[in-house]
Amino acid sequence: MKKNFKEIIMFMEEEVPFNKYLGVRVDELREGFARLVVPFRKEFIGDKRRPALHGGIISTLIDTCGGAATWAHCTKADRISTVDIRVDYLRPGPDDDIIAESKVQRMGNRVSVVHTQVYAASDKETIVAEGRAIYNIRRMRS
């Protein structure tokens, strides 16, 4: 039985207080793939001289998107948690909406490995950051 994608979207957008505060929106969700958007707000600037987004916003988006991709790949998972995450900041985060795309690279019984790329909504060709994460999967008992 497949996970209900509407349930995942509702959880990601409405039931995680920090996601809701950031305005995280699920743009696309399918098995093993997620695309999430964070709308730009001037409060998200970490370095006003450039201006550049705070790295915490970018890493949060990477982690959240990777978790959504993992959850969308699982059947009967009731909890996904981050075990390890690595973020490579390649360019300053733009003063624009940012988009993350995550793809599950490997799914095991208890963990998944996910690769994520982040880019500006206005420039999908220029990668701002990449992330690789491992998520623990706790499956529901049948």
CATH code assigned at 46 = 3.10.129.10
> Are 120 and 37 contacting, i.e. CB atoms less than 8 angstroms apart?
no
pLDDT in tens, 53-82: 999 999 999 999 999 999 999 866 668 999
| Cβ burial, residue 133 (10 Å; 0-12/13-18/19+) | buried
DSSP class of 10: H
pLDDT in tens, 3-27: 678 989 999 999 999 999 999 999 9
Number of structural domains in the chain:
1
Q: In one letter, which amino acid is 51?
A: P
